[in-house]
Structure 1
Amino acid sequence: MGKLIYVTNVSLDGYIEDAQGDINWFPLGDEVFAFHTGLLRSVGTLLYGRRLYEAMAVWETDPALAARSDLTADFANAWQAASKVVYSTTLATVPTAGTRLERRFDPAAVRELKATAGSDLTVGGAGLAARAFEAGLVDECRLLILPVVVGGGKPGLPKGMRTDFELLDERRFRNGVVHLHYRVLPSGHQGSAV
């Protein structure tokens, strides 16, 4: 059985993109980039919303990205090796191998995917992750906290519900990014309105 893990980069004030939809304030650097690659290698399936999938698909559709360095080649290889499920009502097709397009997010289907998985899964995209949280499907969170305040935008974690966590691990990077690894506490602690 696989765990469903929400992985995201988030500003110190809790946003994954600023009020203009920009994410260019991410100070990732090689150390954090290599860490992301390690996380990616540890999972077998990636669940994406349309916008994040379209942003990430370039790791397969644009070979020039992988050619930039050994780090980017490693990331591209890890991304391409994973199975992907994309939830979209607007995409007609998906341009990447090993990718399945779903028209709606079905919690029962994701439960079955977790139950039959030989490795962990990640969920990406704040909107899709919020639906997974609401359905009680998220087992862990891996938040990379970036040392910047953007003042508003798209929240990285769901609003309007309570979720309790247990800290499993933390790591501080030289560029000020901090990785926090949490386990989601049982459903008795999660899902109540705030």
Structure 2
Amino acid sequence: MGRIIYSAIASADGYTADASGSFEWAFPGLEVHAFVNDLERSVGTYLYGRRMYETMHVWQNLPEGPDDPAVEAEYAEIWRGADKVVYSTTLADVWTPRTRILRRFEPDEVRTLAASSDRDVSVGGPTLAAEAFRAGLVDEVQLFLVPISVGGGTPAFPRDHVVSLELLDEKRFESGAVFLRYRVG
């Protein structure tokens, strides 16, 4: 049975994007990227909303050249090797293999997917994650906090739902970023 994992990179004050919608400050350095790659190897299916899919689909064709970092090529291979489910009422088509569109997020379908999988299911993006938290689906949170305060924007966690967390693991990176792994209680 696979776990349902919400993984996010957030500012120290808890936002995945700032008030203007930018998340350029969140791009991981090589050390963090390599650590992310190790975590992502367990993922068999990514669940995305439209915006997160539009952000992530670039990995289908990255890296673009031999001078790109090896960790990016490694991540691209991991990403391409997984299935993707995109929840969208507006997206007409997808641009990547192993990808399908569903018009509604159905918690029972996600439970069944995780229960029948020998790999983990990753929930991508705070909007979709909020639905998964409200439905009681999320087993684990993998949170990367970067050393910046952006003062507002898109919160990493739902504003209208209490999420109890039990710390399982932590790691500090040279960049000042911190990884926190929690069991959802």
TM-score normalized by structure 1? Answer: 0.92
Structure 2 partner of 1:81: 81
Work out whether 1:106 is the aligned partner of 2:106: yes
TM-score normalised per structure 2: 0.96
Report whether the alignment pairs 1:31 with 2:31. Answer: yes
Count of residues paired in the alignment: 185
Q: Equivalent residue for 1:12? A: 12
SS at match of 1:16: strand
How far 1:61 sits from its partner (Å)? 3.7
Q: How does 1:1-194 map to 2 (within 5 A)?
A: 1-26=1-26, 28-62=28-62, 64=64, 68-185=68-185
- Superposed CA RMSD in Å reads 1.3
Q: Is the 8 A contact 2:126 2:157 kept in 1?
A: yes
Task: Note the alpha carbon deviations across 1:107-136, whole angstroms, 9 max, x for none.
Answer: 111111111011111100110000000000
Task: Specify the SS of the correspondent of 1:114.
Answer: helix
Gaps of 5+ in 1: 186-194
Q: SS of 1:158's equivalent?
A: coil
* 2:172–2:179 Cα contact (<8 Å) kept: yes
Displacement of 1:65 in angstroms is 6.7
Letter in 2 for 1:69: P
- Aligned-residue sequence identity (percent) comes to 51
| Residues 167 and 183, structure 1, Cα contact 8 Å, conserved in 2 | yes
Structure 2 residue runs without a partner (length 5+) = none
**Once the 2 structures are TM-superposed, how far is the Cα of residue 23 of structure 1 from its aligned partner?**
0.4
Aligned residues of 1:45 and 1:121 also touching (Cα < 8 A): yes
Whole-Å Cα distance in 2 between the matches of residues 163 and 156 of structure 1? 12
Q: Secondary structure at the match of 1:64?
A: coil
| Mapped partners of 2:66, 2:91: distance in 1 | 25
- In structure 2, the residue matched to 1:189 is none
SS of aligned partner of 1:37: helix
Q: CA deviation at 1:69?
A: 2.5
Counterpart of 1:138, as a letter, is V
Q: Which amino acid letter does the alignment assign opposite residue 42 of structure 2?
A: S
Question: Structure 1 runs of 4+ off > 2 angstroms?
Answer: none
